[in-house]
Chains A and B, each alone.
Chain A
Amino acid sequence: MTLYLLRRLLSLSLTLVAASLVVFLVTEIIPGDPASFMMGMNADPSAVAALRNEMGLDQPFFWRYFDWVWGLLQGDFGRSYTYKVPVAELVSARVMVSLPLTIYALVLSTAIAFPAGVIAASRRNSPADIAVIGVTQLGVAIPNFWFAMLLVLAFAINLHWFSAGGFPGWDAGFFTAMKALTLPAFALALPQASILTRVMRSSLLDTLDEDFVRTARAKGLSRSQALWRHALRNALIPVLTIVGLQFSFLLAGGIIIENVFYLPGLGRLVFQAISQRDLIVVRSVIILLVFAVVAVTFLVDIAYAIADPRLRRHRR
């Protein structure tokens, strides 16, 4: 178990190192001189030189890379070129919107998918099953930003149940803040809930065909007893994988949804930074998101090992 986790940890750290190199390379090398790229075509040469110095561009490449990584490890993301404040400060305020939104959507997605998948699998080919398949087929085809717009039209503009956008901040109270995140979270959760429902359903159907379920049935358990006591736990492995993957999709998808609802999260920050050519902010946010994804992958690996003792030995 420990060896397995150590191996995974090593492999994921290597992924992080490679990812940071790629992000650094792309943002430092390709646009030519980042300082003049960031300041635009008509910049004053002395201002460009000052920025070059501030960004440490007169240093050798690897030195700059290590300097950047060393800073990251200490929580120092550099200074934003447009906001003139430490990136860490900008990011930490935005994370308080993006992360709760992602978690909210993940909880919604799981809370919808779990019962829907179980109902569909336990009543295979029933009208309920067919309805679930139809709705999920539609759910994966709907772009979440369009669904978000439809939600705004229905629940904000017509029914006035929610506001159409904006975020009052956590100071306004937990429920007020959560209410502002509700429509965005539903918009984000819909496609993921559809995918998860289908995985849950098919995984459960596969497990219900297994010998040990037949044995349980032969011992006199009813179909639903066999499902709840034996099949469900075994069906959870692929579901867990998808839940882990969904975190990264939701985190990235949030970038777009935040723009629909004008939420002051990481997504808005990235797009503002892109339009202002603030590469330092862009690359810091991206590496932070990649780190979050990798960390969650590792947590899923641990969850695997707990859910299925066999994996502790057999998995590479």
Chain B
Amino acid sequence: MNAPDTRPGLLHSAMRHPAFVIGLVLSLTFIAAALVSFAWTPFDPEKLTISAKLQSPTITNWFGTDHFGRDIFSMLMVGARVSIAVAFVAVGIGIAVGVPLGLYAAANRGSVTDEIVMRGNDLIFAFPSLLLAILITAVFGPGAVNAIIAIGIFNIPVFARLARGSALALWTREFVLAARVAGKGKARISFEHILPNLTNLLIVQGTIQFSLAVLAEAALAYVGLGAQPPLPSWGRMLADSQTLFSIAPHLALFPGLAIVLTVLGLNLLGDGLRDLFDPRLRKTRS
């Protein structure tokens, strides 16, 4: 006879979910690299050592050096910081603005404000996100802050739609009715009863948007509209490698792999969280 299972349910099933575990490990590696880079990197990522330029991976320079002799591994660690910061704040903007908008629209369904919020969302969706980012950086100039704003704006309608759609379903539930009978106002119900029920969905969507933001930041940096030198950034490392990668492929290989593994990790984490929070969603969503 087996001993009774005393492990907590969610953690137990989480550890048996391969996608979740792989995603968690990859995401934590990436976050750890960023955090450690504040205290330690193998080399100074901004130090130019022209005599040691374009070296292939060695024992000392694990991922080799770039055309200025900078250590690629160290640059990737600091680049992770930029990616995390940009993606984190951009998704934060999306949640902080989008969720209240969506909740408000749902609480006042069919009203003029609801219509304005939804049409505003349509408008942002009509702009391909990259175009919007390009427009913003064209006018305000390139840089990490403007990249954050550009990616953040595109995240607003994503969360507004999600919050509105799910909140509309919740508004018909008995516990909301009970709260209304108890005399609570729309705003109080939205924050005390609706919002807590959206947390899981928001965490899952937040993870997915985080990975999209990492990709978007890399794309903007690649075309020169992201974080500016000397701050290392994965996208710009790829752009810098473009003229050299026929003679030094490692220049393009490692930053690209860093992006892919990070995004893959976040996506797997998001998928895993979704399955764990709500097994019913497992099949219907792609």
Contacts and interface: CB of A to CB of B under 8 A. Distances in A.
Interface of A: 11, 14-16, 18-19, 22-23, 26-27, 30-31, 137-138, 140-143, 145-146, 149-150, 153, 157, 195, 198-199, 201-203, 205-206, 248-249, 251-253, 255-256, 259-260, 270-271, 273-274, 279, 282-283, 286, 289-290, 293-294, 297
9 contacts: A15-B123, A30-B140, A141-B261, A198-B286, A205-B283, A248-B128, A259-B223, A273-B138, A274-B134
B135 interface: yes
A11 B286 CA distance: 29
A294 B135 CA distance: 18
Nearest to B19: A137
B109 interface: no
Contacts of A273: 138
Contacts of A256: 130, 219, 222-223
B139 interface: yes
Q: Which of B136, B219, B268 has the largest number of chain A CB atoms within 10 A?
A: B219
Contacts of B255: 146
Contacts of B252: 146, 149-150, 153
A293 B126 contact: yes
Nearest to A247: B128
Interface residues of B, number: 44
B267 A290 contact: no
B278 interface: no
B223 A146 contact: no
Interface stretch (B47-55, B56-64, B189-197, B241-249): B241-249
B68 interface: no
B224 to A, nearest CB: 8
Given A202-B284, A202-B286, A290-B126, A145 B260 contact: no
Contacts of B224: 271
Contacts of B246: 153, 157
Contacts of A202: 283-286
B127 interface: yes
A14 B286 contact: no
Q: Determine chain A's interface SS by DSSP, over half rule.
A: helix
A137 B269 CA distance: 12
Most interface-central of A11, A31, A145 (chain B CB within 10 A): A145
A11 B136 CA distance: 25
Contact of B264 (A138, A198, A248): A138
Contacts of B33: none
B188 interface: no
Interface string B94-129: 000000000000000000000000010011001111
Interface string B196-225: 000000000000000100010011001110
B87 interface: no
A128 B163 CA distance: 36
A183 to B, nearest CB: 14
A251 B129 CA distance: 11
Contacts of A282: 134-135, 138
B128 A140 contact: no
A294 B126 contact: yes
Contacts of A142: 256, 260, 263
B139 A146 contact: no
A142 B260 CA distance: 5
B131 interface: yes
B72 interface: no
A179 B142 CA distance: 34
A277 to B, nearest CB: 8
A277 B223 CA distance: 16
B238 interface: yes
Which 5 pairs from chain A and chain B are nearest by CB? Answer: A252-B128, A202-B286, A146-B256, A141-B264, A198-B286
Contacts of A203: 286
Contacts of A252: 128-131
A201 B283 CA distance: 10
B182 to A, nearest CB: 34
Contacts of B138: 273-274, 279, 282
B149 interface: no
Contacts of B128: 248-249, 251-252, 289, 293
Of B224, B241, B256, most buried by chain A (CB within 10 Å of CB) is B256
B77 interface: no
B281 to A, nearest CB: 11
B268 A137 contact: yes
Contacts of B91: none
B66 to A, nearest CB: 15
A149 B260 contact: no
Contacts of B131: 252, 255, 286, 289-290
B205 to A, nearest CB: 15
B256 A149 contact: yes
A136 to B, nearest CB: 9
Nearest to A140: B267
A153 B130 contact: no
Nearest to B252: A149
B70 to A, nearest CB: 20
Nearest to A144: B219
Contacts of A251: 128
